[in-house]
Amino acid sequence: MELYQRLRDRQAKLAVIGLGYVGLPLAVAFSRVLDVIGYDVNRHKISQYQNGIDPTGDTGDDAVKHSAITFTDDAAELRAASCFIIGVPTPVQADKVPDLQYVRQASITVGQSLQRGVLVVYESTVYPGVTEEVCLPILEEQSGLKCGTDFTIAYSPERINPGDRVHRLENITKIVSGIDKETLDEVAAIYELIIEAGVYRADSIRVAEAAKVIENAQRDINIAFMNELSMLFNNMGIDTQAVLRAAGTKWNFLNFRPGLVGGHCIGIDPYYLTYKAEGAGYHSKIILAGRHINDGMGQYIAQQIIKHLVRQKEDLSDVRIGCLGLAYKENCSDVRNTKVIDIVSELAEYGVTTFVADYWVNKAQVQEEYGIELVERSDLRDLNVLVVAVPHDEYRKLNVADFDQLYAPNHKKLMFDVTGIYNKTDFENNGYYYWSL
């Protein structure tokens, strides 16, 4: 394992391509034991990192400030690297077809810096076959080198969970795979430098790619089942949360809950799997059905709000709705593919004004990406409806008295607690109409 030893002796450098929620933690962790180059095409982001600022809010300013990473947006500096780890986004297009433009561009950039003896590791979520069938040819074309002879490739799927303070990079088992056994041994040894939980050696790159996409597809399907039950029980006048508490007393009942499914993993990865399935001549049934349900939950919640306002004979043009939370999940600043926006957009179709507050997220980013001007929580006043869309820890601490002051006087208070983080009885005993999935 010549490369591994050169990296350990700091005679070679490791470069992380893409410094977002996946790449930044990797770069910081590796920089404690290796010489690391952190590369991103976003000049503003690089400037923030160089000044010790973590715009993701997940790794932390101190960790960035005290790291020994060489942050750069200059691709020429990558020629000093002997090991590349690529962790760029892999979203889907509007028609739910995988969008590989970022991983392709990263492959071009790395290929142009490739030299003999180099290892390239992909972490971006892809469907089985992308690393060897899409990325490898680009590396060879751009470098003029031959994989297996001049350089080698590997795949180690990311398992980062933004906002999770328990399951971190270091204590989650890392799947590793390589183009051959020698590469597998080398990539395993490199990751073992930072992964305390150890590594799992997959049988092949395609197996590792498949393992990644089914991890999130499995969660997506289970949440979709809970969401379907929620809609069913709502029609039957049964409290879904009460049903789940009762069913949860059985030892083997799976603890999934209904909710909005957004972000860059659970709401995206299943489409990579179904796209590959179509190419293989198989039309997915369960996976796509789950996606259909989960993609429609924001619209469903908005329609429930409208129904209750109509029943109260409210003039929708005068209604004020407050929404707490815009991030795709609790305790993180990530707004990529957030399904809260579907609630806001659907309400706007009815001419209803919604005021959104979320101190976790970046206001400028939200304005640029969604055209929404966030307000402060203190600005939520004279409301008819309050939607607690994201269960940030700070929102969990609020009680009925905290919410009372947000509503307009002499109006029925409608509380839509999307994920059911509050006690229903507390609100109903204080004159609220309370709803949750």
Residue among 342, 417, 354 nearest 384 (CA): 354
Structure token digits, residue 384: 């008819």
Clarify whether 265 is annotated catalytic: yes
Q: Collapsing DSSP states into helix, strand and coil, what is residue 322? A: strand
Question: Given the DSSP bridges, would you call strands 174-178 and 151-155 parallel, antiparallel or unpaired?
Answer: antiparallel
| CA–CA gap between residue 389 and residue 262 (Å, rounded) | 12
Burial of 102 by CB count in 10 Å (0-12 exposed, 13-18 middle, 19+ buried)?
A: middle
DSSP at 96: S
What sign has the CA pseudo-torsion 211, 288, 334, 230?
A: negative
What is the CB-side half-sphere exposure of residue 237 using CA atoms within 13 A?
Answer: 0
Structure token digits, residue 114: 């490739």
Structure token digits, residue 232: 């069913």
Question: Given the DSSP bridges, would you call strands 353-357 and 385-388 parallel, antiparallel or unpaired?
Answer: unpaired
Q: Return the C-alpha torsion angle 332, 338, 340, 343, nearest 10.
A: 180
Catalytic pick among 83, 135, 147, 265: 265
| Amino acid identity at 287 | I
| CA–CA gap between residue 47 and residue 31 (Å, rounded) | 18
| CA–CA gap between residue 411 and residue 152 (Å, rounded) | 67
Annotated catalytic residues are: 265
